[in-house]
Amino acid sequence: MFPSDPPLAAFTPHSSLGSPLPAPCSLLPVSCTPHPVPCTLVIMKILLVQPASPFGAIAGDDWFLFEPLALEYLAAAVPDDEVRILDLRLDGDLCDTLETFQPDLVGATAYTVHVNTVKHLCETVKQWNADAVTVVGGHHATVAPDDFADPAVDLTVVGEGVVPFREIVSRLKQRAGLEGIPGVAVSGSNSFIPLEDSVAADIDALPQPARRLTAAYRSQYFCDWMRPLASIRTSKGCPYRCKFCALWKLTCGKYIKREPRNVVDELGAIEEENVFFADDESLLDSRRMQDLAGLIREAGIEKRYFLYGRSDTIARNPDLLRAWKEIGLTRVFVGLEFFRDEDLEYVGKGSKLSDNEKAVGILQDLEIDIYASMILRPDFEKQHFKELRRYCRALRLDYPTFAVLTPLPGTDLYDEVKHDLITDNYDYFDFIHTLLPTRLPLKQFYKNYAWLINTVLPPGKKISFLRRFPVKELGSILGRSIRVQRRVRNAWKDYEASAGDLH
């Protein structure tokens, strides 16, 4: 995939409405003139686009917005060219950018929920200038590249994107053919050469992300009260085999790590005080993380860190968490997932409730915030919502989040249940809309879902949560919370409105 997309499968908050699709460029004024591509290019104009969530999705942009690290890596791969990054989550005018910048190539990254949006984006580019080259990469392009076999998509990058993207740009500038680039599928061609494992695995060979290209947006990247929030990649992959996750497949179950000194060098160049580790699992190699903590301390780097760790990893390594607390670890994302061991076993999690309880206790003793992810099974009945609420309260969780069990393409779960899906509209692959039949009537399922969100925290914890934010933001926070609950409660109506997309 385009490198360093945060593990979206991990982020499962109760979230708010996404942004609408960009308007087609047929709406541009008559004076819109396509950019003529010269016979030879010394410098190529490249536009890299972070898509917004589709209008139909109940997206998380109100609660977290991470920098487009994948696109910053791609930009760093072609330093001799003129590159811009357009973040459509914050800046919705694609057509204006096409007209003013006149790019020769437009690249976009996509998770599953962005598939329709990105194909529409490429159509918009081709309406503006049929000769502009369109490239799509990211998680979904890696696990299901055929979904981008579209006339508006010229090239699809499968796997790590930096090396293939650099080669794409080089060949375009030389007017050479694009067939046979490892990791790149050419539209209309049946030939595809996978990227070599050695290239995909050497993440220390990647350039440092071109963060200067997101300077205009950086103050707006955040997760809840952690604002502004930078991101860094220190590893990729996971050796576990959770059936709802495809990340382990992308590295064949390998855990690939950067050298700690390289991480420290990059951290030292990051201006933001808050830093998110965009890893599939940051804590797996406890010795490496101890070394990294020591090097950060020696370098005198003072920041607040937010990273992901499995509950069983945390349970086995309390001293590691203590060391990281001392250098600024503020928050840990923990996939607790379920309140029953049989559910953890069903998804192949490899951890138990006892691990959850021990991990929560360790983090609470260290006063490290817990961003706890919980999963709702579509076959939940009313009592299951109540039992999950009791479980979260018994653990004294300050920030539990809830997502519906989602069979994403590329996962074992998807292969197991794909014939039972009630919709194949990717706009609804947002972790909030159920893709599988519910045991409760849909209206009742979402009524209980909204009830859980609204009541899981006792009043005192809600007040403590709000105190994390500046006073001037409280009005908007409360407004967003109310809007989220309303959208979740009424999500069942989306299925009635989109009956044509349902099986």
Q: The domain that contains 305 carries what CATH number?
A: 3.80.30.20
And the tokens for 11? Answer: 């982020």
In a shared domain, residues 129 and 255: no
145-191 pLDDT per residue, tens = 999 999 999 999 999 999 999 999 999 999 999 999 999 999 887 77
Instruction: Note the Cα 66 to chain centre separation in Å.
Output: 8
Q: 329-337 and 304-308 as β-strands: parallel, antiparallel, unpaired?
A: parallel
Q: Give the residue from 192, 213, 240 where a domain finishes.
A: 192
State whether 390 and 257 are in the same domain: yes
Q: Are residues 333 and 400 in the same domain?
A: yes
What is the band of 501 on the pLDDT scale with cuts at 50, 70, 90? Answer: low
Residues 218 and 169 in one domain: no
Decide if 395 is inside a domain. yes
Residues 162 and 240 in one domain: no
Residues 139 and 213 in one domain: no
Count of domains forming the chain: 2
- Which residues have CB under 8 Å from 294's CB, separation 6+? 323
Residues 186 and 208 in one domain: no
| pLDDT averaged over every residue in the chain | 90
Q: Is the peptide bond before 228 cis (omega within 30 degrees of 0)?
A: yes
Please give the angle made by the CA atoms of 498, 501 and 503, to the nearest 5 degrees.
120
Element (H, E) at 292: helix 286-299
Amino acid at 100: T
Q: What is the DSSP string of 237-277?
A: --S---TT--HHHHTTT--EE--HHHHHHHHHH---SEEEE
Does residue 3 sit within a domain?
no
Q: What pLDDT does residue 76 have?
A: 98
Interatomic CA distance for residues 152 and 124, integer angstroms = 9
Domain annotation covers residue 2: no
| pLDDT tens-digit readout, 197-232 | 655 668 999 999 999 999 999 999 999 999 999 999
Residue 333 sits in the same domain as residue 420:
yes
Question: With contact defined as beta carbons under 8 Å apart, do 468 and 412 qualify?
Answer: no
Residues 221 and 177 in one domain: no
CATH code of the domain covering residue 99: 3.40.50.2300
Are 243 and 262 part of one and the same domain? yes
Q: Give the chain's length.
A: 503
> Shortest CA distance to 371 belongs to which of 223, 231, 179?
223
Band (pLDDT 50/70/90 cuts) for residue 499 is low
186 exposed, middle or buried (CB, 10 Å; 0-12, 13-18, 19+)?
middle
58 assigned to some structural domain: yes
Within a domain: 475: yes
Out of 142, 157, 192, a domain closes at: 192
Angle at 165 between CA 163 and CA 167, to 5 degrees: 70
Residue 258 forms part of a structural domain? yes
Residue range(s) defining the domain that contains residue 271: 203-501
Shared-domain flag, residues 387 and 494: yes
CA gyration radius, the chain: 22
How confident is the model over 339-356, as a mean pLDDT?
A: 97
DSSP state of 174: H
Residue 338 counted as domain residue? yes
Q: Pick from 169, 192, 215: which residue ends a domain?
A: 192
- The alpha carbon of residue 158 and the mean position of all alpha carbons in its chain are separated, in whole angstroms, by 17
Residue 26 scores a pLDDT above 90 = no
Domain check: are 177 and 208 in the same one?
no
